[in-house]
Structure 1
Amino acid sequence: MLTVAVLISGTGSNLRALLEATADPGFPARVVVVGADQQADGFAYAEAFGIPTVMVPFREFETRAEWGDELRRHIDVWTPDLVVLSGLMRLLPDGVVDAWAPALINTHPAFLPEFPGAHGVRDALAAGVRETGASVIVVDGGIDTGPILAQERVPVLPGDTEHLLHERIKPVERRLLIETVRSIATGAIDLSVYRTGARSDASASDPL
């Protein structure tokens, strides 16, 4: 059984979908802990499913490295096989990413390598493309540059706003995340082939 830690910053919609999937006795993975860098609404989902939560407030530390070390210490207590970044809006320090990778994955609301960064949906609309997408990647040393594990196209429709387009991307993103976690758990995806050097990407908007 694959054990999973999930890191969030906000509402945790992807977390909820993953918790619902893993609650199925036939699903080959279980979420063992949910962590956040601040008080997050998504903790309510974890509590509803009886999953322990950990909060390590970013603002209480002088450096990102100190915060990352403390976060890692709390998460490593649960010895997860996989860490999922699910809306964590902080860049993880190099040392933390290097310690967890390649068993560290992230979702992104674009068809990478198109439109990386914190504003993938907005950037797709600004570019006037006819389609964008959703991706699941292994975290590496860049901003959304890691190896792609799964992705799917989503059309951009006439009259789309950033909100409307993002709302259509989210269900695809959630499904890809669940399918990817399942594939990792069953061995259909072997993350060990992605083991290289240090990595530092969390697809975060926070520049600190």
Structure 2
Amino acid sequence: MKIKPIFDPDKKKRPMRVAAFMSGTGTNVKKLIEHQKRLEKEKGSSPFEVIFIFSDRADGTCMGEKIAYENAIPYFSYDIRMFYKKHGFQKPTINTSEALSLREEFDKVPKRLIKAFEIDLVALGGYMSYTTIKGCVNVHPADLTIKNKDGKRKYTGANAVRDAILEGEKFLRSCTILTDEGIDTGPILMISKPVPVELPAPIEKLKQDPQLLKKVVEEHQERLKKEGDWRIFPKTIEYIAQGRFAVDEKSRIYFDNALVPDGIEE
């Protein structure tokens, strides 16, 4: 079966052009830019370059503008909540065909930017909105190799860390994926080293104490971000830019021409 590099540096003969999408603090985007600069300093060049930052928030809460300013990168924001309110929705959703069509309309703006800046890859670094832009790289705070009894990924969505803790998982992992039309359903690229779950009380007690549970989840999310996301997200982008990741007609992932059904471990 024919496989195709996600990015082919031999054909492009230039660094991979990346658009970084974010919604909040943007720590993953910061780490990506730091990794680019580290490669430039240590090796003389980087196989990728972050060309611009895009945010779906324009209310001043997103740190994208600050990150862009500090790194002399163009920044664009388009508030998705105000966009939906303008079209009669109380909040952004994709639960109906009308709402999904509206999301496609919203995405026309970043798609124009992608075309104008000749972007090769979109890196979702804490971008909290579903996007209809296919083939992005996303980082998810869960081990997506774990399946439920129906054979589907067990820990998807915004509450993945909480769900894994309450299910009694002993370790947490982050994964990078190549996005498709689903939510956290795309093929896995990389998986981080395990981060141990450390609980101050039994799970049953956590279930009865919402504040304590929230604190535990937030602490584990932060640890996983530092020990998982910040390590595999930049490396995934680097490997793609080097032409090492490829995909076949069935959307299966290859690394250095070898099939990797569950991605590669850090």
Moved over 3 A (4+): none
Of residues 100, 113, 121, the one that matches 1:82 is 121
Structure 2 counterpart of 1:206: none
Q: TM-score, normalised by structure 2?
A: 0.67
* Aligned equivalents of 1:74, 1:183: Cα separation in 2: 24
Q: Is the 8 A contact 1:138 1:146 kept in 2?
A: yes
> Which string of whole-angstrom CA distances, capped at 9 and with x for unpartnered residues, describes residues 99-140 of structure 1?
xx2xx1100001113411111111111112111210000001
> Which string of whole-angstrom CA distances, capped at 9 and with x for unpartnered residues, describes residues 35-57 of structure 1?
01112223211210111011122
Q: Which stretch has the larger CA shift, 57-66 or 21-30? A: 57-66
Change (3 A) 1:14 1:195: farther
Q: Is the 8 A contact 1:133 1:155 kept in 2?
A: no
Structure 1 counterpart of 2:68: 46
Structure 2 counterpart of 1:151: 191
**Deviation for aligned residue 1:194:** 6.2
Structure 2 counterpart of 1:202: none
Q: Percent identity?
A: 31
- Per the alignment, in what secondary structure is the counterpart of residue 111 of structure 1? coil
Structure 2 counterpart of 1:188: 244
* Aligned equivalents of 1:74, 1:188: Cα separation in 2: 26
Matched, 1:138 2:194: no
RMSD: 1.7
- Per the alignment, in what secondary structure is the counterpart of residue 113 of structure 2? helix
**Unaligned ranges ≥5, structure 2:** 1-14, 88-101, 145-152, 201-214, 252-266
* Aligned equivalents of 2:248, 2:54: Cα separation in 1: 27
**Deviation for aligned residue 1:64:** 1.7
User: How many residues are matched?
Assistant: 188
* Aligned equivalents of 1:35, 1:195: Cα separation in 2: 30
The amino acid across from 1:18 in the alignment is L
Q: Is the 8 A contact 1:9 1:88 kept in 2?
A: yes
Structure 1 segment 25-104 matched on structure 2, within 5 A: 25=40, 26-39=45-58, 40-58=62-80, 59-60=82-83, 62=87, 63-93=102-132, 96-97=133-134, 101=135, 104=136
The amino acid across from 2:140 in the alignment is H
Structure 1 counterpart of 2:33: 19
Structure 1 counterpart of 2:219: 164
Change (3 A) 1:64 1:180: same
**Deviation for aligned residue 1:184:** 0.5
- Per the alignment, in what secondary structure is the counterpart of residue 112 of structure 2? helix
**Deviation for aligned residue 1:195:** 7.2
The amino acid across from 2:198 in the alignment is L
> Which string of whole-angstrom CA distances, capped at 9 and with x for unpartnered residues, describes residues 76-96 of structure 1?
211111101111111113xx3
Q: Which has the larger radius of gyration?
A: 2
**Unaligned ranges ≥5, structure 1:** 197-208
**Deviation for aligned residue 1:143:** 1.3
- Per the alignment, in what secondary structure is the counterpart of residue 136 of structure 1? strand
